[in-house]
Amino acid sequence: MKRIIVAVLLLLTAFAAPAQAQTGPGRLQIRGADISSLAKSEALGGVYRDAAGNRGDALAILSRAGLNYMRLKVWVNPADGYNTKARVLAMARRIKALGMGLLVDFHYSDTWADPGKQFKPAAWASLPFAQLRQALYDHTYDVLRALRDQGTTADMVQVGNELNGGLLWPDGSNSNWPNTAALLNAGYDAVKAVSGSTRVVLHLANGGDNGLYRWWFDNARSSGIRYDVIGLSYYSYWHGTLDAFRTNINDVATRYGKPVVLVETAYPFTTADDDGWANIITAATPYPGYQATPQGQSAMLTRVADIVRAVPNGLGLGLFTWEATWTGVRGNGWDPADPSSGNGWENQALFDYGDRALPAMAVLGRL
């Protein structure tokens, strides 16, 4: 009998071992990249190659590496004619043809919107508040309806970009939360009028600043602001330690009971310059322990992804690397009104200076 019991226990252990090896956190739902610069890069002769050096379509290269979600920003009337409704529609067709998800990022501006600037589009500059709110609704609805009507419905939508201080200043500044709420809820309503299944993201920068996030989303809750997902930007060389990021993203997910997604992150793979315009991040070791090398870039993206994956209750959806395709192509600079400007970001793309996919791309695709 004793021998039988031992045999049974060994058999049970043998069956249990494979199951145990497969437990634990799986792949991220969202393994994404912001590719807002891609259309202009291609128009100006930008080239993209896979890890083996074969020239190809950048989106197809990203998809084959395992990425499954793309992010596109929308400006209202930018000087260079890119990141507009028409450009987003064209890129969305390519994204959806590859079976990838689509996050649309409304800046509600003719240029960059971020914590330091939330400039109204020129066409909206003199509108009374009620008309400004209607313009935001109409613009959001128009772009998203056109996406839906061509069969490329947005899966997620950011109503505003890095909203630390509100949007459409001064009217929508956080110094007037009722106005902030009215504008953001107009955007929410426009999204849901087009597609009830599209998730609305509210996005702040400074992903390691828990005080900011509690202040902002507590006010959002008391002001009746509606949304589905909390979006964060976290750049380790700007936004605090990795531990601070972990503390914040875990806290906001559980405090507000919402899924969280890291809509912007990046890390340099070199300190060298490729377009004659000074890089924004030039340190050899921008964050302690992570050098500006292909290996350092891969390691940092892995570390950040692990933090998102471990958010309690499965609320960590995934991440997007910011401007993965913004390589050093002349004319594709940061200023839409100045074709001589460079981008300062090419050392944080997912393609190297030989236009070849970096190891971090495949790492991100497996996360």
Q: Known catalytic residues?
A: 162, 264
Q: What is the DSSP string of 128-139?
A: -HHHHHHHHHHH
Burial of 243 (0-12, 13-18, 19+ CB in 10 A): exposed
Q: What is the crossing angle of helices 242-256 and 210-222, to 10°?
A: 20
Residue among 320, 344, 333 nearest 203 (CA): 320
- As a whole number of angstroms, the distance between CA 42 and CA 258 comes to 37
Alpha-carbon separation of residue 38 from 51, 63, 292, 328 (angstroms): 18, 15, 23, 12
Q: Where are the alpha helices (DSSP H) in the chain?
A: 2-22, 38-43, 58-64, 85-97, 129-149, 177-194, 210-222, 242-256, 294-309, 359-366
| Gyration radius of the chain over CA positions | 22
Residue 185: how many other CB atoms lie within 10 Å: 19
Could you tell me how many residues make up the chain? Answer: 367
- As a whole number of angstroms, the distance between CA 302 and CA 296 comes to 10
- Cβ(98)–Cβ(59) below 8 Å: yes
- Cβ(296)–Cβ(267) below 8 Å: yes
**Which neighbouring-strand residues pair with 262?**
232, 319
